[in-house]
Amino acid sequence: MVRKSEINIDNEILKILKNNSRTSYTEIGKMLNLSEGTIRKRVKKMIENGIIRKFTLIIDYRKIGKVESLTGINVSPESLLSVIEEIKKIDEIDRIYLTSGDHTIIVNIIANSFEELDRIHKKIKNIRGVINVYPAPILEIIK
Distance from C-alpha of 3 to C-alpha of 92, rounded to nearest angstrom: 41
pLDDT truncated to tens, each residue of the chain (143 aa)?
A: 455 587 789 999 999 999 999 999 999 999 999 999 999 999 999 999 999 999 888 888 999 999 999 999 999 999 999 999 999 999 999 999 999 989 999 999 999 999 999 999 999 999 999 999 999 999 988 88
Of 67, 110, 107, 111, nearest to 86 (Cα)?
Answer: 107
CA angle 38, 40, 46 (to 5 degrees): 100
Distance from C-alpha of 117 to C-alpha of 104, rounded to nearest angstrom: 20
pLDDT of residue 68: 96
Half-sphere exposure of 10 (CA within 13 A, CB side): 17
In DSSP terms, 107 is beta-bridged to: 71, 96
Distance from C-alpha of 125 to C-alpha of 75, rounded to nearest angstrom: 10
Written as one letter, the residue type at 113 is S
pLDDT of residue 122: 98
